Amino acid sequence: MFLTISIPWSPNIVTIGGLVLTWHGFFTAVGILAGVQLALYIGRRIGFDEDDAYAISLVAVPGGVLGARLLYVIEHWSFFRDRPFEILALNEGGISVWGAVIGGVLSGLLFAMWRRYDVRLGLDSAGFGLLAGLAIGRLGDLVNGEHLSTATTLPWGVVYTHRDSPAFAHSIAVGPHHPATTYELLGMIGLMVLMFAVFERLRRWPALVFFVFLDVYSVLRFLVSTLRVDSASAAFGLDVPQMISVVALLLSAPAIWWIWRHPRDLRPSGPVTSPDAARIRVVPARPARGRRGGDL
């Protein structure tokens, strides 16, 4: 093996009193901020009200953090059962990406439906924001050694040499192993490029870009999970992330069918004053009822 990357850093940045700030927590926070800003940018591009977007983020971000921790605790209940106080030690790491997606999307969706916002535009904005946040968060996993993978048979691999790293003992036991979460990070970068490439082409079908994110990420996470050894088993020989990926793909199919059957007419409905007005088909307004010829 000619490319073994040794990662010597401590997973902890600083300890203040009893509070430990980890690289995982730092990149998670940066990812949340960047994700919200990208979602707001996309929202402005597609005409989603910015105040509505801010309101949703105030609900979806806590919902995502809660979901991420909750699913992680459920997966690793054998550890937390005897350490209930460590359930709240979110700053030390230990979150589930799928939990973040489920918690964030579900809480934001329910809030948007309650407030009668444009849910389809909101989902497209959320897809970009979620992807950015998840990708940046994976940088923290790379530094920390948060997740464990199988020994690599490829010309590259990673080992963690700091004693406080969660992957230190694993690196000694199996040697160089796959940087599985980094594969996922690279896949998410490619997915982001794809989403921007199809973004304008799918404007007539709001929410379809969100399902591009959801479905491609589901496949990506399913494949990456075959290299992971730290996820709880679910059923049918699959672990929890793989099972959620399969369920997400199955549930998205009817939603995609409905969205495709209900495009939106993007043609202008009134006079156009732009230089391209001559090339745009304008839908004529109907005469007002009760007025002859529609005169004012």
Tell me the average confidence (pLDDT) per consecutive run of 10 residues in the chain, 296 residues long. 85 81 88 96 94 95 92 83 76 79 96 96 96 94 90 94 93 94 96 95 95 97 94 87 96 96 73 44 44 39
State which residues form the domain around 170. 21-264
Q: Please tell me the total count of domains within the chain.
A: 1
Residue 271 lies in a domain: no
Residue 31 lies in a domain: yes
Residue 214 lies in a domain: yes
What pLDDT sits at residue 95? 81
CA quadruple 36, 38, 42, 45: dihedral positive or negative?
positive
Structure tokens at 43: 């929202």
Q: What is the CA radius of gyration of the chain?
A: 23
Residue 280 lies in a domain: no
What pLDDT sits at residue 267? 64
What pLDDT sits at residue 2? 67
pTM: predicted TM-score of the whole model, two decimal places: 0.85
Residue 44 lies in a domain: yes
Distance (Å, rounded) from C-alpha 254 to C-alpha 252? 6
What pLDDT sits at residue 283? 44
Residue 105 lies in a domain: yes
In this structure, the strands spanning 156-160 and 12-16 are unpaired
Residue 125 backbone phi and psi in degrees, to 5: -60, -45
What pLDDT sits at residue 172? 95
What pLDDT sits at residue 285? 45
Distant-in-sequence, close-in-space partners of 291: CB < 8 Å, separation ≥ 6: none
Per-residue pLDDT of 45-98, as tens digits, reads 999 999 999 999 999 999 999 999 889 888 888 878 877 877 776 655 678 899
